[in-house]
Amino acid sequence: MNVSFIGSGNLAWHLAPALDNTDFAVKEVYSRNPRNAAALVEKLYQATNKASLDFSLSPSRVFIIAVPDDAISEVAENITLPDHSFLIHTSGSQPLSLLGYASTPNIGVFYPLQTFSKAKKVDWRETPILLESDNAGTGKVLLEMARAISRKVRQVRSKDRKALHVAAVFASNFTTHMLTLSKEIMKENKLDFELLKPLIAETVNKCLSLGPENSLTGPAKRGDLEILDNHLEFLKTDEGLAEVYRVISQHIVDRYT
């Protein structure tokens, strides 16, 4: 079954080639950024660059919306689809009902629970893919498409998918931001970030093996207020960073002491 992509960002950059190596050949890519669309088309076997959202003569049956969350409803309202097509969005936080204004009754969600960057390859076989649909036919197509690239496929309702997405933000986005702040502190004090890499690796491995609830250490966990005050004194020249440290430390203190 042929596929067309609407969007050419980080997710499409990885998902389109993955599907293109299965029975779900990618035929078209539409993007508001023609340069990005052209770059993605170059990674595919037989896809072409689509200039508009009029897919009425498309050879595809599956249309995957891989755009920012705030653009999904606009795409769903303006896209023109061939008969008997399937319209899918890939958002973790947006409900299936966001596609309710589309011109097809066959709507679904295909959400890979993973972080995507163009410069880093993804192991699709180990990436959970969370599915939702409103009818059996769409569900069957989604399941076949997901199983073609991943061995971890689950059916998840919109409500539960939002909870997963929020948890993923804490686990991935916030963690990455904290590491960025850590790297900046090291740089400002002329220290090598490489020194922290064994600690970072051990922290992640310990959380995965023992569980994060059994892995936390440090002054806030111990309730060592003297050390916390000392750290806040060190950070006093950056009020925003000091506030992040204070809020998170207080949350840990309240939970464990």
Predicted local confidence at residue 147, as pLDDT: 98
Q: What's the rounded mean pLDDT across residues 188-209? A: 97
Burial 206-236 (b: 16+ CB within 10 A, else e): ebeeeeeeeeeeebbeeeeeeebeeeeeebe
> Order of strands across the sheet with 62-65?
48-50, 26-30, 3-6, 62-65, 86-89, 107-112, 129-133, 153-155
Render 163-175 in DSSP notation, one character per residue.
HHHHHHIIIIIIH
Q: Are the C-beta atoms of 75 and 102 separated by less than 8 Å?
A: no
In which residue ranges of the chain is CATH 3.40.50.720 found? 3-156
- The span from the CA of 188 to the CA of 177, in Å, is 17
CATH 1.10.10.60 for the 162-256 domain, yes or no:
no
In which residue ranges of the chain is CATH 1.10.1040.20 found? 162-256
Number of residues assigned to the chain: 257
Give the CATH class of 3-156.
alpha beta
Its pTM surpasses 0.85: yes
Which residue matches tokens 């649909």?
A: 133
Q: Model confidence over 54-111: pLDDT tens digits?
A: 999 999 999 999 999 999 999 999 999 999 999 999 999 999 999 998 999 999 999 9
pLDDT > 70: percent of the chain: 100
- DSSP H helices, 71-121, are 72-78
Say yes or no to pLDDT of 176 above 90. Answer: yes
- Burial class of residue 256, CB neighbours in 10 A (0-12, 13-18, 19+): exposed
Please enumerate in sequence order all residues whose Cβ is within 8 A of that of 12, keeping only pairs 6 or more positions apart, or say none. 5, 29, 40, 64, 66
Say yes or no to pLDDT of 257 above 90. Answer: no
139 phi, psi to nearest 5 deg:
-60, -40
Q: What's the rounded mean pLDDT across residues 172-198? A: 97
Q: Model confidence over 200-234: pLDDT tens digits?
A: 999 999 999 999 999 999 999 999 999 999 999 99
